[in-house]
Copies of this chain bind each other. A is one copy, B any other.
Amino acid sequence: MARIIKDFLWNSGMTVEKMVEDFGSVGYQSIELHNASKVILKMKQSGSKVFLTFTSNMITSGLRGFFAQIVRLGMVDVIVTTSASIEEDIMKSLGEGFEVNSFSADDIALHERGENRIGNIVVRNESYMKFEDKIRIYLNKIYEKTLNINGQKKIYVSDLIKELGKLVFEDTKDENSFIYQTYKNNVPVFCPGIADSSIGFHLHLFCQEHPDFFVDVIGDCKNIIFASNYDEKKGLISLGGSISKHYAIFSGLLNGGFDYVVYLTTAHQSSGSVSGATTKEAMSWGKIKDNASAVTVYGDVTINFPLVMIPVLERLERDGMLENKK
């Protein structure tokens, strides 16, 4: 039976859950958003292994704390992200404040003040300097701890991030660090593009100074493949595009494809980009099973991700299915 469009009505004290429930019969992207929320609920109820991918601008934003929270609550099993996510998560744990600014800021003036803009958010040079001081200390600790086998201290990227998560918490006691929560909750974080950004540059400097230290980027492939298997149900929540999205769906392809998929993106399919590649296109590859529950929602992730997740959290809480709920 087809759903019929219903007149949306506000009621006093309206919750996010009620609004998204009503969105199912409102229109256009509100319908897709409702459907995406239902797919994530099914993903969890079916006991699927859940992959979450996001780009680093999500960590620049306040979603960083939300990612930490949903990891703590047991919503996610595997994360794939880009290199700047790691460095910015650490900056924030170190107490560096990112400021709200404007898309039409005077960028030359910002540059003169040592402020770097990401959309309508700015990050100060000082925040990078603080990160650089700390990452050297953390890398030294990780280096010391890493076993030397046949003259080489080898560490997978995902293990490096795990260690960083442990160290940043010991240092700062920040519960909102997503790399700390993934460490604590045993959720591997993959970052195939770790060589990019400030963290990539500092890894490079450190490796130059420590020729026996070997951060294994390519070999980490094994770990994402073994993070799920052919037989278990698998779900994917992909925020934005980029290498994070592709690495996750490629690993899914190697394990028979995903059963439940939600893409939140601003990119359209018209230019053949990964960011805009639809769930429908992914079916041609076997990245998504032909009978998968798959939804794409177009729009800004800082709005749409809380909207799709909150109703799932409310429902799972009522059903006693949330972990570590304090």
Contacts and interface: CB of A to CB of B under 8 A. Distances in A.
A60 to B, nearest CB: 6
Which bracket fits the contact residues of A?
A: 35 or more
Interface in A1-35: 2-10, 12-17, 19, 22-33
6 nearest A-B pairs in the assembled complex, by CB-CB distance: A7-B65, A27-B61, A119-B272, A29-B300, A30-B302, A26-B62
Contact of A28 (B29, B30, B271): B271
Contacts of A60: 5, 27, 272
Interface of A: 2-10, 12-17, 19, 22-33, 55, 57-58, 60-66, 68-69, 82, 84, 92, 97-101, 103-105, 107-108, 110-111, 115-122, 150-152, 176, 192-198, 200-201, 203-204, 207-208, 214-215, 217-222, 240-243, 246-247, 250, 254, 266-277, 280-286, 290, 298-304, 306-307, 309-310, 313-314, 317
A323 to B, nearest CB: 14
A310 B14 contact: yes
Contacts of A246: 84, 196-197
A221 to B, nearest CB: 4
Contact of A61 (B30, B64, B100, B116): B30
Contacts of A200: 192, 218, 221
